[in-house]
Amino acid sequence: MEISFAEALKNHKPLEEYPKSDLHVHAGRGGSQEFIMERTGKRIKSRCSPFMSLEDMQLWFEEEIKSSCRGMEGYLLRLEGAFARAAEEHIKVLCMEFGYGELVQLGKIQNFIRLTETFRKKYCPDTIFCPELAIGWECHAEEALRQLEELLPYHWICSLDLCNRELAQPVKNFVPLYRTAKANGLCLRAHAGEFGTAEDVREAVEVLELDEVQHGIAAAASPQTMYFLKDNHICLNLCPTSNIILGRSGDYKTYPIRLFYDYGVPVTINTDDMLIFNSSVSREYRMLYDSGCMKPEELDTIRQFGLRKGLRMNLLI
């Protein structure tokens, strides 16, 4: 690296070689479309228009991706692609979400843990890998607690997240789950404010005692909520392209990261579902700069913050 990250942005140089974090990655959707096309020989038609809903997104995923990556073999190919992508992008802190069903598909959980470690060592041995248990908002909270308690003895997962259908049930239903996770030292996260309101973001943080919020962009509508997030050091793990393609934000120039940064809300920049949205971490930084949304030095500050967060996550492994 002959020039700084900020200078690389200003001079439109490649950003892949600079260390970055990706703190919001859904495991089976975290690779690149190029990796899948090379391995399967099937051409993937990139989405040119925004998805109308999560259901619309899932339909595209089934037709364009899973149709050539079926079953367990297909899932493992996509998972391998996620680690290969992390290596190409120089991702030094990787937080990857796994559903319970993913963790048990090889029979024993130990088998799955060994497999992910094999991929990590093959592609990105120097990366801080932080596995996360993803629980659906629509699930039975009691069953989710049982799944968490089954996984805790392995000392593998570093964090807990609620995802999928935001606010499918009252947030209070998950209090026992999150109290157990907190008692065992996990980082507490939840998808909130991606489709809900600023008030939903604050409620999730307060009720579940969250450390971080996945997306949380609705908080931009409320100065009070932004001050609350700032004062309580609650980080928003933002995914610009995901929010834009799902119609939650208009474009990169008006993306609310500008507002969060000005209010002092801690933020990171991430990919979410790279295999679907076809956008790398480097591209996320590039688009936020090229659009005029953020200055190079500001984006470098965010990049370095994401890397420092890895030091804390590493203590949980």
Q: Is 81 a member of any domain?
A: yes
SS3 for 37? helix
The residue written with tokens 């802190």 in the block is 93
Does the structure show a pLDDT above 60 at 263? yes
Which domain does 295 fall in, by range?
A: 23-314
Q: What beta strand segments (E) does the chain contain?
A: 20-26, 91-99, 128-136, 159-163, 187-192, 212-215, 235-238, 267-269
Question: 242: closest CA among 202, 214, 204?
Answer: 214
What does the block give as tokens for 293? 């949304």
pLDDT of residue 284: 98
Question: 54: closest CA among 226, 149, 191?
Answer: 191
pLDDT of residue 48: 73
Q: Are 283 and 240 in contact (CB under 8 A)?
A: no
Does the structure show a pLDDT above 80 at 118? yes
The 10s digit of each residue's pLDDT in 154-163 is: 999 999 999 9
Low-confidence winner among 25-34, 44-53, 247-256 (lowest mean pLDDT): 44-53
pLDDT of residue 315: 52
CA distance 30 to 78: 7
The residue written with tokens 């259901």 in the block is 55
Q: Is 128 a member of any domain?
A: yes
pLDDT of residue 309: 83
Q: Is 8 a member of any domain?
A: no
Q: Is 18 a member of any domain?
A: no
Does the structure show a pLDDT above 80 at 143? yes
The 10s digit of each residue's pLDDT in 196-247 is: 999 999 999 999 999 999 999 999 999 999 999 999 999 999 999 999 999 9
Across the range 114-118, mean pLDDT stands at 96
Domain count, the chain: 1
Q: Are 115 and 73 in contact (CB under 8 A)?
A: no
- Would you place residue 103 in the very low, low, confident or very high pLDDT band (cuts 50, 70, 90)? very high
Per the DSSP assignment, residues forming a β-bridge with 187 are: 159
SS3 for 297? helix
Q: Is 62 a member of any domain?
A: yes
pTM for the structure as a whole: 0.95
What does the block give as tokens for 303? 């990049």
The 10s digit of each residue's pLDDT in 277-305 is: 999 999 999 999 999 999 999 999 999 99
State what percent of residues in the chain have pLDDT above 90.
89
80 residue type, one letter: E
Could you tell me the CATH number of the domain that includes residue 149?
3.20.20.140
> Quick one: CA dihedral 300, 289, 56, 198, positive or negative?
positive
SS3 for 22? strand
pLDDT of residue 317: 47
Q: Are 30 and 61 in contact (CB under 8 A)?
A: no
Q: Are 294 and 251 in contact (CB under 8 A)?
A: no
Q: Is 13 a member of any domain?
A: no
Across the range 101-109, mean pLDDT stands at 91
Does the structure show a pLDDT above 90 at 85? yes
Q: Is 136 a member of any domain?
A: yes
Across the range 21-31, mean pLDDT stands at 95
Per the DSSP assignment, residues forming a β-bridge with 135 are: 162
Tell me the average pLDDT of the chain.
94
pLDDT of residue 49: 81
Q: Is 271 a member of any domain?
A: yes
The 10s digit of each residue's pLDDT in 121-134 is: 999 999 999 999 99
Q: Are 5 and 298 in contact (CB under 8 A)?
A: no
* Residues sharing a CB contact under 8 Å with residue 164, sequence separation 6 or more, in sequence order: 54, 136, 137, 138, 191
Count the alpha carbons within 13 Å of 43 in the hemisphere toward its beta carbon: 1
